[in-house]
Structure 1
Amino acid sequence: MGRIKVYDDPKQFWNEVSPFLKKEEAKNNLCLGLSYVFQLKQNDCLYQSALFDGEVLAGAFVISRFRTNHNLLPSLVSNEEVSQELFTEFLKSKIKITGIIGEKETANFYRQLLEKQGHTTKIHMAQGLYRCTRVKMPANSDGLSIRKAELSDVAKIGEWIESFHCEAAPHEPPINGAEVAKEKIDNEMIYVIEKDGELVSMAAWSRDIETSCSVNLVFTPKPFRKKGYASIATAKLTQLLLDTGKRETNLYTDMTNPTSNKIYMNVGYEFVCDSVHFGVF
């Protein structure tokens, strides 16, 4: 179909490929976001390639290293032929893939190719991808303040992160919540909602590519649930991010949880597409 280029330099990949991926910025946010990070954290990048049809990008193939996981984060592709060409070239690398995360149809293309190689796959989560360009602030947000989490919050935030991980990713091994909390707080990525001086909810950002970034780690401990705090955390953090000049923010939801999907739509997030996370064995 065209020429495939395998990259050794994440900066070169970003410069040559990201302008094409940004034409579908939300759908390609994982591929874009991690590729942006790889420019500074090259050890987290296991593989990057791109297929060009003339001077136009047909598809990109990115594999990240996250803890013990090697996740394929493919760009959106229009047909199976593109995924086949990228996958055939990738097989020369001998790199092991343990997961696929991407737009549903594209992820399924690669799932089928891996199964033809003798692998088995399992759906870890059916996800919905949403984006927001304008926040609808909840009416009950008065009296609640948002602030950056501080190092003095590490113990509590660490507990919350471990609880979030158990609920959102039960297929994954346990994590050290305090360690994750400290790293994210050091990088000013976590924000908390306070009521009368008490922490009641949190949200975080990640994968900032300047024009957009992702909202994640939205969590409210059980004693404070059903009070609208998660909606307020999401709305206030999203507004802060848009106020920095971002064109949009995005987030992923668990499609089996209609409550969370409704929460995000109520504060201004619009559905973009179905996404899926496959485990590969």
Structure 2
Amino acid sequence: MNIYHTQDVQSCKEEVESLLVKREAENNLPLGLLKNFPDSKSEQPPSLIYIKDHGRIVSMAMRTPPHLWILPSISTTSQETIERLVHFIVENNLELPGVLGEQQAVQWFIDACEQAGKFSAQLHMRQGIYRLDELRPIDLQSGELIVADQSHLSLAKQWFRQYAIELDEPMMKEQAEQTAESMISDQKMHLWVVDGEPVSMVNQARVTPNGVTINGVYTPDHFKKKGYATQATYHLSKKLLNSGYQFCSLYTDLDNPTSNSIYKRIGYVWAGNSVVYHIQTLKGTDEK
């Protein structure tokens, strides 16, 4: 096996995209990042690793600092390839704040890290990845979906901050104002409005070769349990499918049965599981 490490997004994309597209909904995160990175506002270059066996790609990993390592869903990924990946990351002193991705691959990754004797891993979230090809009819409520504009900026900053708090995502909380400004500027933030008042938000996120991802579904506490998130997600999904995307995808917190039931009711179908681990370097371990 040969391991290749690069910061060249285009060359990596040419190597791995056809493999990732085989499970496009599951791999919406790495596909979307590879597609959109030239337009990213990140100040640090990505870290892209792919592994070849007898000349063909069998696995890959990527990281866009300061975020976690991403392990896509690839049928040819094996325990051996993941162990070699971890060894490469450790030997080359690459930052290792955590990992997220396909459940089995992540478990192999965590096992290899702990066997190295230098790291401690903690489960942060269990996620489901869902795909929508066709909407199911639901009972429609009064209200309308609008694209957020600059007049909603203060509200957007507050809601993105609260959304991050609910998810227990400190980095997301720190970036809440920047995220709000970007989503409004790019016309990706949508609001469900009832009687002239915004009551829930939903956002268009990454684009993949054939699909689009929805994220940031949030309803303030005093508006919850009224079906607003369902209405917002339904109408944005409909808008995106009607605009030409073949499917929509999204992540759910598997430990939040309410959110999972919302998406299933609309027509989203389970596509795979993803797990998120945070990793710490143990004190007193030698560093290269």
TM-score by length of 2: 0.89
Name stretches of at least 5 consecutive residues in structure 2 with no aligned partner: 281-288
Specify the alignment match of 2:57 in structure 1. 57
Alpha-carbon offset, residue 245 of structure 1: 1.9
Q: Distance in 2 between matches of 1:179 and 1:172?
A: 12
Matches within 5 A, 1:18-33: 18-33=17-32
Q: Check whether the contact 1:99–1:280 (CA below 8 A) recurs between aligned residues.
A: yes
Q: Check whether the contact 1:149–1:190 (CA below 8 A) recurs between aligned residues.
A: yes
Specify the alignment match of 2:79 in structure 1. 80
Q: Distance in 2 between matches of 1:137 and 1:64?
A: 38
Specify the alignment match of 2:203 in structure 1. 204
Cα deviation digits, residues 178-218 of structure 1 (max 9, x gap): 33211110011111111121111110121212412211110
Alpha-carbon offset, residue 44 of structure 1: 4.6
Specify the alignment match of 2:127 in structure 1. 127
When structure 1 is superposed on structure 2, of 171-180 and 20-29 the one drifting more is 171-180
Matches within 5 A, 1:144-163: 144-163=143-162
Q: Distance in 2 between matches of 1:173 and 1:203?
A: 16
Q: CA RMSD in A?
A: 1.9
Q: Distance in 1 between matches of 2:31 and 2:84?
A: 20
- 2:254 maps to amino acid: M
Cα 1:94–1:176 shift into 2, 3 Å: closer
Cα 1:17–1:173 shift into 2, 3 Å: closer
Specify the alignment match of 1:280 in structure 2. 279
SS at match of 2:174: coil
Cα 1:88–1:170 shift into 2, 3 Å: closer
Alpha-carbon offset, residue 235 of structure 1: 1.1
Q: Distance in 2 between matches of 1:130 and 1:44?
A: 30
Specify the alignment match of 1:101 in structure 2. 100
When structure 1 is superposed on structure 2, of 74-83 and 263-272 the one drifting more is 74-83
Specify the alignment match of 1:228 in structure 2. 227
Q: Check whether the contact 2:15–2:57 (CA below 8 A) recurs between aligned residues.
A: no
- 1:100 maps to amino acid: V
Q: Check whether the contact 1:206–1:215 (CA below 8 A) recurs between aligned residues.
A: yes
Identity %: 26
SS at match of 1:231: helix
Specify the alignment match of 1:195 in structure 2. 194
Specify the alignment match of 2:3 in structure 1. 4
Cα 1:5–1:74 shift into 2, 3 Å: same
Specify the alignment match of 2:68 in structure 1. 71
Q: Check whether the contact 2:7–2:45 (CA below 8 A) recurs between aligned residues.
A: no
